[in-house]
Structure formats: C-alpha cells, structure tokens
Structure 1
Amino acid sequence: MIYDLALNISYHYPQDVKDARHILRVRPRAERGQRLMSARVTINPDPTETGREHDFFGNAIDHVLILPSHDALKVTMRARVEVTRPRPDLGLTPTVAEVRAAAKADRESGGGGPMHFLGDSRVVRISEPLSSYAAETALDDMPAGEAMLALSRRIKADFDYAPGKTTVDTPLEDAFARREGVCQDFAHIMIAALRGIGLPAAYVSGFLRTIPPPGKPRLAGADAMHAWVDVWLGPDMGWMGFDPTNAMLALDDHVVVAVGRDYGDVAPIDGVMITAGPQKTKHTVDMTPVLV
C-alpha cells in the first residue's frame, strides 16, 4: 500500500517567543516493511538554522533554531510511503519463555538491540500490578506472537478509550488504575507490563489509516498521530508491531515515524523556548491511499 501523508502541527503563544530551539521527529522511517519514497518538512517562520541527522534509535531528526521573535509556529510534513507488511503466522513464533531467555542472553548494543527496552525509562516504570497483568495473559508456553495479540485484545476490552481524561503527563499507573486513557496510555501500559515479565517492548509513534463506515465519505484530516508497541520476538523473528488501542497487529494501515523506549524518545516536537503563559496547539493528519 502506498500513502500520501500530510501532517500539520501549529502552536500559538500568548506572548512573543524570543528564542526557540526545536527537535522535530516528523519524517516517517525507512525500515522493515516500509519504504520512504519522499518527505519534505516546512517551518513557519523560516528558521535561522536547520540541521538533519538520525538519533540512536534510527529516527529522522530535524534540528531547528528560530531567532526572529514570533507568536506562532507551524510545522508541515508531506511524505509518500510504501508499506508492505505481510500478516505473520503468530503460531510459529517462539514461546514467551524462549523470548525471555533470548532477550536476557542478547548482547546487541545498537539502537535496535533488545537490551535497551527491558528496564525502566523516563515514562515507563515496571511494577508488580502491571507485571502480573501481563503474566496472566502471556503464559510461558504460549507462542509469543499469539500472547502479544491476546494481551492487546485484553487491553482493548479492559480499558475505555477516553480522550481528554489523560494528558501526556499522566502517570501510566494512574491510567492503569482508572482503566481509561488514549493510545499513548495503552502503549505505555503494555510496554511496562511486558518489560515486567522480561520481554523487550518499544514505543512506536506514527500514523494509522482510519477507514470510514460503509457509505460514508472519508474525511480529510480525520487521521491522527497514533501510538502502538513493537515487541522483540527473538533473533529470528525480530521486532513485530501490536496495537493495543485497536486489538490488532500493526500491518499495512500503520506508518512508523519514530521508535523509542517511551513517548519521551519520540515526541514530534521537543526543545526549548523563551515565552510566558499557556500555549495552544493543534495537529491534523491526512493519510491518503494512492491508487497505482
């Protein structure tokens, strides 16, 4: 499947920003099952300096310095991506116990190595309630792929999708106790639960194609930034995506933008600026299949 992507992020400030340095993680990744055909990022106001690189986890980074005083910021990303992820046979994956043992023995130190996704990180903390939650579903003798899909389905069944009830700062323990949240919360909960039983799990930020009900037109801008989980299933299977918000595998409807230990590693816009008062932000995503 080929998609044209359009991401628009805007900020409005109550007072002029005198100096701003931003890190953008908005360009889709070129990785397994995903080919980046083109990508362009534009910024308003025009940056004083820009730079590009890839971070430790392989995410595309845009560095931006804006010195002219401004009361608004707009970031636009346009890309074309081809996604080809065949549906795997989850029954052929190693057992949960085998994956745990392989992760403990693995010594890959690069950004994709499982060792970086086993312990606590800035947002994700291992705790007994979350570990027990995973252990109840992901039994040691189950094929790990089937166990991950079962855990995704359990999270969707147990938790209410409730926009506005949590924020990016809500501790995952609170969302877990309240059994409500949004995709970011569900991804963090699944990650913490899996790390608690020794399985490497990563946070994925990207785009999800929304399919309208039969007979209804597709709405431009109806798609949104989404979050799901990559789980390492051993050296042969590697990383595989699971979407606990929708109880599904992350296949051709998912486009990966950034991967990290938690949201703190993949936030679309990071940085430092000088201003005062609360800022207002808005973002829209348009994910359009291309007929070829």
Structure 2
Amino acid sequence: MIYDLTLKIAYDYRSAVTDARHSLRVRPRSDRQQTVTDMTLTLAPLPDEAVEERDFFGNAVDAVVFHRPHRSLSVEMRARVRVDRPAVDLDRAPPLAELAETAFLHRDSGGEAPMHFLGTSRIVAPLRAVTDYAEPTLAGPGSAGPAILALTRQIKADFAYLPGSTDVRTSVAAAFAQRSGVCQDFAHVMIAALRAHRIPAAYVSGFLRTDPPPGRPRLEGADAMHAWVEAWLGDALGWVGFDPTNGIVAGDDHVVVAVGRDYADVAPVAGTFVTTGRQRTRHSVDMVPITEA
C-alpha cells in the first residue's frame, strides 16, 4: 500500500517569541515494513539553525533554533510511504512466562532492545488498578500473542473514545479511572498493563488511514496523529503493533513516525521558547491511499 501523507502543525503566539529551540519528530520511519520514498519538511519562519539527526530509538529528529522574534510557527511534512506489513501469526509467540524470562535475560542494549521498555518511564508507571484489570486476560498458559490481542480488544470495548475528555497532561490513572480518552490514553494504559506483566511495550506515534477499503469501518483516531502500542514477542516475531483504540493488530493502515517508551519520547514538537501570554495550536493530517500495490 502506498500513501501520500500531509501533516500540518501551526502555532499562533499572543506575544512574539524571542527565542525558541524545538525537536521535531514528524518524519515517518523507513523500517517496520514501511519505506519512505519521498519526504519534504517546510517550516515558516525559516529556522536560524537546523540539524537532522537520529535519537536513541532511531527516530528522525529535526533540531531547529529560532533567534529572531516571531508570532507564529508552522510545520508542514509531506511524504510518500510504501507500507507492506504482513499479517503476524500471533500463536507463534511464546507463553507469557517464557516471554518475560527471555526479555529479562536479553543482552541487547540498542535502542530497540526489550530492556528499555520494561520499566517505569516519564509518563507510565506501575498502577495496581491497571495491573489487576489486565490480569485475567494475560494470566493464561497459552501463547502471549493472542492474550495481548485480547487485551487490545478489551480496552477497545471498555473505554470510550471521546476527543476533548483528556489532554497531553492527563495521567494514566485519570484516563483509566474515567474509562475514556483518546488513542494516547489507551496506549499508555495498555503499556502500563503489559509492563506490569513483564512484557516489553513501546509507544508508537504515527498515522492511521482515514479512508478504509470498501466494506471496512472507518477507524477511530484518524483525523490527527495516531498512537498505538508495540509489544515485543520474542526474537522470532520481534516487535508487533497493537492498536487498542480500534482493537486490532497494526497493519497496512498504520504508518509509524516515532517509537519510544511513552508520549514524552515521541512528541511531534518538543522544546522550549520564550514568550508571554497564551498560544493557540492547529493540527491536521491527510493520509491519501495512492495504490493497493
């Protein structure tokens, strides 16, 4: 499947920003069964300094600096991405106890190593209520793969997708207690549940197809950047995506931009700037399928 992607993020500031330093994570990755064949990034105003680099997790980062005063900032990313993500046989995953032991003993220390996705991160920490919620679903003796998919569907069934009911500051505990939120909240809840059961779990930021194939329902969370989870299912299967907002395994409808321990690692725009007063932001995504080839 080939997509043309457009991401637009804009900020309007009440008072001029006199100095700003941002890290942008908006370029899709060329891995995880997807290839970027064309990509442009346009900023207005033009930054005074700009460096393209990779972070520890392999995400593309544009580090930009603005020294001149400005009252607005716009970021526009356009890309063409080919996605070929075959279906995964989840039954091939080892049982939960074996998977947890393998992850604990894994000696790889690179950015995609399971060891980095087992413990507390800046947003996700152990929460007894979440651990207990997932226990009946994950405690069976069978393969961990179907159990994780069952948890994905459980969150889809039990949580209401309500844009505006949470924001980026909403804690995992608050989202879990109110049983509502958006894709970011559901991903954080699922990550907390999986890590509590010693399953490496990563947060994924990306895009979701807005126009599904004929006969398939429109997926929730497709009008903005989307979030889902990757679980490490052993050396044979590696990282597999699960979308708790829609209760599915991530497939060709999903395009990965950045991977981290939680949202704090993959925020599209992060950094610092100097100004006074409020700011207003706008965010839009357009994901157009070009061909099924």
Note whether the superposition's TM-score is higher than 0.5: yes
Q: Does the aligned pair in 2 maintain the 1:12–1:281 contact within 8 Å?
A: yes
1:213: Cα distance to partner?
A: 9.3
Aligned to 1:200: 200
Aligned-residue Cα RMSD (Å) equals 1.5
Counterpart residue type for residue 47 of structure 1: P
Q: Partners of 1:4 and 1:276 in 2: how far apart?
A: 37
1:136: Cα distance to partner?
A: 1.3
Q: Does 1:64 align with 2:60?
A: no
> Unpaired segments of 5 or more residues in structure 1?
none
Q: Does the aligned pair in 1 maintain the 2:211–2:288 contact within 8 Å?
A: no
Identity of aligned residues (%): 58
Matched pairs, number: 287
Q: Partners of 1:245 and 1:47 in 2: how far apart?
A: 36
Counterpart residue type for residue 86 of structure 2: P
Q: Partners of 1:24 and 1:272 in 2: how far apart?
A: 12
Q: Partners of 2:278 and 2:151 in 1: how far apart?
A: 38
Aligned to 2:210: 210
Q: Partners of 1:212 and 1:121 in 2: how far apart?
A: 34
Q: Partners of 1:250 and 1:84 in 2: how far apart?
A: 11
Q: Does the aligned pair in 1 maintain the 2:47–2:65 contact within 8 Å?
A: yes
Distance 1:124 1:98, change over 3 A: same
Q: Does 1:104 align with 2:104?
A: yes
Q: Does the aligned pair in 2 maintain the 1:15–1:71 contact within 8 Å?
A: yes
Alignment of 1:251-270 (within 5 A): 251-270=251-270
Helix, strand or coil for the counterpart of 1:88?
coil
Distance 1:32 1:213, change over 3 A: closer
Q: Does 1:40 align with 2:36?
A: no
Q: Does 1:30 align with 2:30?
A: yes
Q: Partners of 1:127 and 1:223 in 2: how far apart?
A: 30
Q: Normalising by structure 1, what TM-score?
A: 0.95
Q: Does the aligned pair in 1 maintain the 2:91–2:143 contact within 8 Å?
A: yes
Aligned to 2:271: 271
1:162: Cα distance to partner?
A: 1.0
Q: Does the aligned pair in 1 maintain the 2:210–2:288 contact within 8 Å?
A: no
Counterpart residue type for residue 76 of structure 2: T
Q: Does the aligned pair in 1 maintain the 2:202–2:231 contact within 8 Å?
A: yes
1:212: Cα distance to partner?
A: 6.0
1:110: Cα distance to partner?
A: 0.5
Q: Normalising by structure 2, what TM-score?
A: 0.95
